[in-house]
Amino acid sequence: MIPLVRHHLAPEQAGPALRALSEWTPEDVPAGGVHPGDIGWYLRFEDAVVYLWTVGGTPVAAGFLDGKALRVTTAPGADVEAIAADAEELLAPDERRTDGLPMPGFRRELEDPWVALTWTPRPVATPRAEFVDAGSAADRVLVQRSAFPGSTFTVERWHAMKRSPAGDLAVEALVRTPEGAPAAAVTGWFAGEGRCALLEPVGTHADHRGHGYGREAVLATCAALVERGASAVAVVTPKSLTPAVALYRSAGFTLVRENHDWVAA
């Protein structure tokens, strides 16, 4: 029997995991726990570690530790039980949670599920949106830190993300107020032509909510991803974040399903 091998990849080595995840990404909303964009956003951390499982050199699963949760996507037809047995070694005793990889003895957590929504291509008009580059990275970071008060995002981490093997997959839109203040920002991730893209993350500055800036940034990013060849665009958010769900529904996203983590029983 050919053994299962787990590789620990530094950010600059993450290309094989990204390519495998792109190959496993379907046309519609992804079913696994990890999209290439999840890895791309994670690679803003220079000490990030991406896990890639192979059998005979062929990738069969990829993922990373996202806080307390191990997030993994497996290849079609992969030996999920073998991957789970190996991956369990990565979980700390008090942090036994997975997304996308069922573990023996774990149960589905039914409280506060995540919801997956998808956007299908359609004409959109986003006259106020601009696309983020090095010159506007500081404003993109400003929006992120205001939208998510605990955020540790910095311009340096934006550059680390863009330098990573996932950098070319990123499409970022920024919308400003009429006075020029950064109001909303979205990072979208391309997974290949004919495959579903992902929005991660989406944020509106705390001082500028309720004016449609977030919706416009979402639509601009979706349109740009479709122009590159994405078949659809997905987003995943906690069901309890009703303002976020309402934003996506107003932008034309359709609720597809609920996702439940696996937790130790």
Nearest of 65, 84, 201 to residue 143 by alpha carbon? 201
Q: Give per-residue pLDDT as tens, 161-178.
A: 999 999 999 999 999 999
Domain edges within the chain: 4-107, 115-263
Matching fold, domains 4-107 and 115-263: yes
pLDDT of residue 96: 87
Q: Give per-residue pLDDT as tens, 31-66.
A: 778 999 999 999 999 999 999 999 999 999 999 999
**Fold observed for domain 4-107:** Aminopeptidase (3.40.630)
pLDDT of residue 1: 83
pLDDT of residue 20: 98
pLDDT of residue 139: 98
What's the CA gap between 210 and 263, in Å, rounded? 36
pLDDT of residue 32: 73
pLDDT of residue 17: 98
pLDDT of residue 120: 94
How far is CA 193 from its chain centroid? 17
105: left (phi over 0), alpha (psi -120 to 50) or beta: left
Q: What is the CATH number of domain 115-263?
A: 3.40.630.30
Give the residues of the chain that fall short of pLDDT 70.
none
The SS3 assignment for 19 reads: helix
Contact of 143 with 174, CB cutoff 8 Å: yes
> Which residue is listed with tokens 């290849």?
75
Percent of the chain whose pLDDT exceeds 90: 86
How far is CA 54 from its chain centroid? 22
Q: What is the residue-wise DSSP string for 83-139?
A: HHHHHGGGS-TT--EEES---TTEEE--SS-EEEEEE-------TTEEE--GGGHHH
What's the CA gap between 37 and 167, in Å, rounded? 10
Q: How far is CA 149 from CA 13, 42, 170, 202, in A?
A: 31, 18, 23, 14
